[in-house]
Amino acid sequence: MFNIFLTQSGGLLGPIATLLGWILNAIYEFLSLFGIANVGLVIILFTFIARGLMIPLTIKQQKFAKLSSKMNPEIQKINAKYKGKKDEASMKKMQLETQAVYQKYGASPTAGCLPLLISLPIMFALYRVIYNIPAYVNDINAMYSSVAEGIRGTNGYVEIMSEFAKAVSLKVSSFNEVGTDNIISLPHVIDILAKFNSEQWGELADKFPTLQTLIVDKSGEIMHVNKFLFGLNILNRPRLALPDILIPILAAGLQFIQTKQMSTNNPTDKDNPMASTMGTMNTVMPIMSGVFCIMLPIGVGLYWVAGSLFAIAQQFLINKHMEKVDVDELIEKNVMKANKRKAKLGIDPNATMEELAKKQTRSIETVEETKNTTTTNYANSVKKNYEPSNYKKSDVSHKAGSIAANANLLKNRNNDKGDK
């Protein structure tokens, strides 16, 4: 089902994942100083810290939501005014009037989306780091590496590990070195081992009898650091029994509370066609979270539970803060910021949207006129340089194209050169 390998993430998310991985490793090493080597606790603290770094974006989004509550009625009136009008003139007027509302409140149509667009890559990278812990935590990586190196030194390990890869839903065909050199690299062996549950470690020891002692010792260390409350092993999938089932229940329940909290703070207009869709999503998504938690390792569910807990507490505190924020003062600050940006761009802050549109149109027309003038001058210049000589205007009359006419033309040119 998943093809995420425990080699560190690359691509666009690579730098973000590397930074978050450094934080994760630092937390683990800090707790180890006090004799607390527990991946479950590290996941919780790491989630809180990573979410905490995104608080400024969340506050910005909430400010825009509060501003929208005052701005949206005006936008809805404009939409109702031009409802059903599809002609170009009406569409332009609707756009200008809508932009004028945003200008009035010092807001931008993309202001609500920008924090989300910034936070999404962070969230995706955060998930990858949580799912790929051995790639980022040095001490845990060392536990897996000692077993992986022993396996790679054993004959026939490629076939055995390929079978285990299938069992943990990894595609060996994605490992380039298997097809070319018939080997599995050290990071990819760790990719496979990192998805093992308690039973699979026992099967691995049976498949590699010469490494049995090493596998038993290291798997014991790995199981120890991955144990959480009530004896839960965060590498295993939750069973449909206590205490494992608590993780999916908590993940679904807390996300339901979180969505209710958000819908209360940002009520959706009932006339909006998206309102019913959003209501359905708010009900379905918590249920899906619970289902996914049953399908995935407990560690991923623990991350979702910790994230929801933090989000609920964060939203509560932000709500208290936003209650003290005066909307009129917020609008005034937004307008001042917008005017400063316009001034830097050489735009008159007091100009209306219609005046700006006319100015832009005039600028385009000026550019087009300049283009046309330049093109015309160039064409005239070319025509002048390449048109045939007007020998008929000379005092000698010869038939055009005759030998005499051409001789006379050469004579005149030579005379011109002599004068110079």
Q: How far is CA 393 from CA 90, 113, 382, in A?
A: 62, 74, 22
Residue 9 DSSP symbol: P
Tokens 């939203």 appear where? 315
Structure confidence at residue 4 (pLDDT): 39
Whether 371 is covered by a domain: the verdict is: yes
Reported as a single tens digit per residue, the pLDDT across 341-387 is 767 766 655 655 555 445 444 444 444 455 455 555 545 554 454 44
3-class DSSP assignment, residue 69: helix
Whether 143 is covered by a domain: the verdict is: no
Whether 15 is covered by a domain: the verdict is: no
- Whether the CB-CB separation of 125 and 20 falls below 8 Å is answered with yes
Whether 286 is covered by a domain: the verdict is: no
Structure confidence at residue 335 (pLDDT): 77
User: Does pTM top 0.75 for this prediction?
Assistant: no
Q: Exposure string (b/e) for 7-21, b if CB count within 10 Å is 16 or more? A: eebeeebeebbeebb
Q: How far is CA 285 from CA 130, 140, 253, 282, 302, in A?
A: 21, 33, 11, 6, 17
Kindly give, in sequence order, each residue whose CB lies less than 8 Å from that of residue 82, ignoring residues fewer than 6 positions away: 90, 91, 93, 94
How many residues are given for the chain? Answer: 420
Output the six-digit token pair for 1: 């089902």
Compute the mean pLDDT over every residue in the chain, rounded to the nearest whole number: 77
Structure confidence at residue 247 (pLDDT): 92
Structure confidence at residue 25 (pLDDT): 93
Structure confidence at residue 365 (pLDDT): 43
Residue 13 DSSP symbol: G
Whether 13 is covered by a domain: the verdict is: no
Reported as a single tens digit per residue, the pLDDT across 66-98 is 777 778 888 888 888 888 888 888 888 888 888
Structure confidence at residue 310 (pLDDT): 92
Whether 374 is covered by a domain: the verdict is: yes
Whether 271 is covered by a domain: the verdict is: no
* Integer Cα distance of 290 and 308 in angstroms: 13
Structure confidence at residue 350 (pLDDT): 60
- Residue range(s) defining the domain that contains residue 370: 354-385
Q: How far is CA 106 from CA 64, 98, 332, 360, in A?
A: 11, 12, 8, 21
pLDDT band for position 201 (cuts 50, 70, 90): very high
Give the chain's domain count. 1
Question: Tell me, what amino acid is at 216?
Answer: V
Whether 377 is covered by a domain: the verdict is: yes
Structure confidence at residue 403 (pLDDT): 54
Q: 227 - beta bridge partners? A: 233
